[in-house]
């Protein structure tokens, strides 16, 4: 047992939050994210001149009872309203947790399904990992620098999963974040939307995309269920990105991650 694990719960939370603030200072997160979101008039004028660099579409699982589905859509809509039309300047970091804030009822979130320690539970902000997975796909294929990303602890959807193994992302306030940096010389505009079945996102810029990307995710090992109540295998997966200038040049690997999913 570590020293931190012996601390009272409230104190452990303060330790985590202090650590998050220190990381934010180190990565140079902007102080006020609201000021970095364009209003509708500026955004429409910007989009009229922009090029689409990347798109991402994530289906929303039709799981749970009516209340669960309604709460999930509410949480997704709340999250999207906080990141839509976010302008990410050259060299700037974008932290999803910083934008979404702590998922509490006081911050506008409702209870929904979350994955904790290999189990499916219910807590405020359930469903936000759909946003994280969608944006990870968008930024990964869009060529952005991935500073922080965490996979889910389990392959909860099995063969019905809506993402490739190794290409999902989880978010848990003060524990897990999705953070990227814009490595390009051009500002990037993040556009997000939601309908009843799908989360959409687009990454736009005022200049054409300067690179091509290829993503290769490979299963390294299958982990068979260990108990009788487990029906879904676990996995170890590697995900690599290769990129090159759009007009010429050779491919180079510029990103590599490893994802580990427990049997469930």
* Mean pLDDT score, 143-168: 93
pLDDT band at 122 (very low <50, low <70, confident <90, very high): low
CA distances to 130, 132, 137 from 201, in Å: 12, 11, 10
Per-residue confidence (pLDDT) for residue 130, from 0 to 100: 93
* Mean pLDDT score, 7-22: 79
Give the residue extent of every domain in the chain.
4-261
Strand boundaries in the chain, DSSP class E: 51-59, 86-88, 93-95, 111-116, 119-124, 145-148, 179-181, 188-194, 198-205, 211-223, 234-245, 252-261
Per-residue confidence (pLDDT) for residue 128, from 0 to 100: 92
pLDDT in tens, 55-95: 999 999 887 778 888 888 999 999 999 999 999 999 999 99
Computed over its alpha carbons, how large is the radius of gyration of the chain?
19
Cα–chain-centroid distance for residue 204? Answer: 18
* Mean pLDDT score, 1-20: 72
CA pair distance 89, 52, nearest whole angstrom: 16
pLDDT in tens, 198-233: 999 999 999 999 999 999 999 999 999 989 888 899
* Mean pLDDT score, 16-28: 86
Under a CB-based contact definition with an 8 Å cutoff, are residues 46 and 164 in contact?
no
Which residues have C-beta within 8 Å of that of residue 113, sequence separation ≥ 6? 63, 64, 68, 72, 120, 121, 122, 126, 127
- pLDDT higher than 80, residue 13: no
């Amino acid at each position: 047992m570590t020293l931190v694990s012996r601390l009272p719960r409230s104190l452990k939370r303060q330790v985590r939050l202090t650590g998050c603030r220190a990381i934010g200072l180190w990565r140079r997160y902007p102080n006020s994210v609201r000021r970095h979101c364009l209003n509708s008039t500026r955004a429409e004028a910007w989009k009229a001149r922009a090029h689409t660099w990347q798109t991402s579409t994530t289906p929303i699982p039709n799981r749970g009872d009516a209340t669960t589905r309604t709460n999930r859509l509410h949480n997704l809509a709340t999250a999207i309203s906080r990141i839509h039309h976010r302008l990410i300047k050259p060299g700037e970091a974008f932290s999803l947790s910083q934008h979404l804030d702590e998922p509490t009822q006081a911050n506008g979130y409702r209870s929904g399904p979350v994955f904790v320690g290999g189990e499916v539970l219910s807590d405020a902000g359930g469903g936000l990992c759909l946003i994280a997975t969608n944006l990870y796909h968008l930024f990964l294929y869009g060529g952005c620098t991935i500073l922080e990303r965490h996979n889910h602890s389990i392959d909860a959807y099995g063969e019905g999963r809506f993402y490739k193994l190794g290409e999902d992302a989880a978010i848990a306030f003060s524990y897990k974040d999705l953070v990227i940096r814009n490595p390009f010389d051009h500002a990037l505009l993040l556009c997000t939307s939601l309908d009843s079945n799908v989360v959409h996102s687009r990454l736009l810029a005022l200049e054409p995309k300067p690179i091509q990307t290829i993503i290769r995710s490979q299963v390294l090992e299958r982990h068979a269920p260990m108990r009788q109540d487990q029906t879904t295998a676990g996995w170890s997966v590697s995900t690599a990105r290769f990129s090159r200038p759009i007009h010429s040049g050779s491919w180079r690997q510029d990103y590599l991650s490893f994802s580990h999913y427990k049997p469930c």
